[in-house]
Amino acid sequence: MKPFVYNALPARVIFGGTLSQLAQEVKRLGCSKALILTTPQQIKEGEDARAHLRELAVGVCNDATMHTPTHVTNSAVELANKLACDCLVAIGGGSTTGLAKAIALRTDLPQIVVPTTYAGSEATPIIGQTENGQKTTQKTLKVLPEVILYDVSLTLTLPPQMTITSGFNAIAHAVEALYSPESNPIIDSLAEQGISSIARSLPRIIKSPNDTDARSDALFGAWACGTCLGAVGMALHHKLCHTLGGSFNLPHAETHTIILPHAMAYNAPYAPEAMAKISRALGTETVGKSAAQEIFDLAKLLGAPISLKELGLREEDLDRAADIAAGNPYPNPAALERDKLRKLLGNAWAGNRPE
């Protein structure tokens, strides 16, 4: 076995929990003044959390926004200071988790995150923020939530398309972990488990949205995939998605779903072992498709968007996107060449199946 280094992340994870446990988790942190965070679409979930917390809740902020714009964070920090809160309770998906992380980055407030999607960002010490049309990321334990509480009942009303795209978003975390320079046997094993859990649960959820066993599998997969990304580094896939999200305001999970098979195909010749593990996790080792093609076909079969054109990106924006992506060097199995990146983006824009 090759030498490796593995740093475990210091977080408390509760599977099969319920909102009724929020109060004891706030107290366990030594806190008594929680600020609840949600999106405008999840006001009810925020009020439900407030009802469970009772006197432990000092306010609710419903302003969480995709791609974590800094002006939203600045307003939320002002509210947190005004209310003198001593912890954050985030109920929602990646947007809400992102706002909690951004506040924690500025204030060091502890976080309790209750995910309602399968994005997996709650398990990472990574934050992406958008300012002046540019999305940047950083990795710091200051933004790693102290507690993650997985309540499967909160995912039962997640719309089918959001279920699918947030699941593929999570799979992308594990895929990139498998070919990261920091990969190791522990994370590789967890990545395969995460990919397998989500890939087998998504068709079941679409067929039967109230299948709690399938929803539980997806939540475990989301945590596993997020933990993988949190332990190692990001590569081409995530950088392209951050470019498209931050600079062109494309929806986060849908963009991840579309870009993933194309980024995999770009890297496949330089990461054959990783691709073999992905195929094994998908159960497609003998099907005769590449791992990238299998991911593309699964997304298409489930009815996910498969082209950037569907998301409203203009073809004339592809050159600028390629320039931005190529202008920021980062570790990746394949060399980052501007013309090849432009071709990748062109295929993703048109929805072409990877070769």
Fill in the amino acid letter for 241: C
Residue 319 — φ and ψ, nearest 5°? -65, -45
> 169: which 2 tokens?
């978003």
Q: What is the pLDDT of residue 4?
A: 79
pLDDT at 3 over 90: no
List the beta bridge partners of residue 147.
12, 112
Residue 352 pLDDT level (bands cut at 50, 70, 90) = very high
Classify residue 307 by its DSSP letter.
-
Overall fold of domain 12-155: Rossmann fold (3.40.50)
Angle subtended by helix axes 272-282 and 291-301, to nearest 10: 40
pTM of the model: 0.90
Kindly give, in sequence order, each residue whose CB lies less than 8 Å from that of residue 97, ignoring residues fewer than 6 positions away: 90, 113, 115, 119, 121, 122, 145
Q: Alpha-carbon distance 286 to 142, whole Å? A: 44
Q: What is the pLDDT of residue 286?
A: 62
Q: CA torsion sign, 104 to 108 to 114 to 117?
A: positive
Q: Under DSSP, is residue 127 helix (H, G, I), strand (E, B) or coil?
A: strand
Pairing of strands 12-15, 147-150: parallel
Q: Choose between 6 and 277: higher pLDDT.
A: 277
Contact 326, 341 (CB under 8 A): yes
Average confidence (pLDDT) over 260-287: 93
Domain residue ranges in the chain: 12-155, 160-350
> 42: which 2 tokens?
């999840």
Beta-strand ranges (E) seen in the chain are: 12-15, 34-37, 57-61, 87-92, 111-115, 126-131, 134-139, 147-150
* Mean pLDDT (the chain, rounded): 94
Q: What is the pLDDT of residue 302?
A: 96
Q: What is the pLDDT of residue 7?
A: 79
In CATH, what is the architecture of 160-350? Up-down Bundle (1.20)
What does the pLDDT look like over 298-348, one tens digit per residue?
A: 999 999 999 999 999 999 999 999 999 998 778 899 999 999 999 999 999
Average confidence (pLDDT) over 214-225: 95
